[in-house]
Amino acid sequence: GGGPTFRETDLSTVFVLMYNILNQNAGAKYYLTDKEGILNEIECGVKTMILIHGFTGSAKTSWCEAAKTEMFRKYYCNVWCLDWEYIAAGPWYDYAAEGACNVGKYLGELLAYLHNSGCISLDLVRIWGHSLGAHVAGCAG
């Protein structure tokens, strides 16, 4: 218990590091609020792999980096490392747990926007989450 109360404004801290086959190392950073920027950066029509860290993690966690490298060995795709570090930060697990589903819904809205824009096919999107990040993934839809 204890700790801060989740607020919708906390979602403004969530961003993705976007990688593609031509940009495998220096991810382009976009906040989820920047739907147009993400639409302009993403390579449309290919698989999009989304990796989500867990409690106390960040998009720069070693498993996200390692998984990204393996994805590019196997697929021609977009890879996103979603960062919700501000919300997932310790020591308040209850706050992070409450925020997880809100982050997932926010991600789902972005994916719906990209789909409705004709850029991505939802059957080509894969989402992986570690620990509490799996709850984010589940709430994305």
The domain ranges of the chain are: 9-139
Average pLDDT over residues 45-68: 94
* Pair of tokens at residue 85: 């570090």
Pairwise pLDDT comparison (90 vs 73), residue with the higher score:
73
pLDDT band at 53 (very low <50, low <70, confident <90, very high): very high
Torsion sign over Cα 83, 18, 29, 122: negative
Looking at 3.40.50.10800, 3.40.50.1820, 3.30.390.50, 3.40.50.700, the CATH number of the domain 9-139 comes to 3.40.50.1820
Residue 113: DSSP 8-state: H
> What does the pLDDT read at residue 96?
93
Q: Reply yes or no on whether the pLDDT at 35 is more than 80.
A: yes
Q: Reply yes or no on whether the pLDDT at 18 is more than 80.
A: yes
Q: Reply yes or no on whether the pLDDT at 90 is more than 90.
A: no
Angle, vertex CA 54, rays to CA 52 and CA 60, nearest 5: 60
Matching residue, tokens 């403004």: 12
Distance CA 31, CA 28 (A): 10
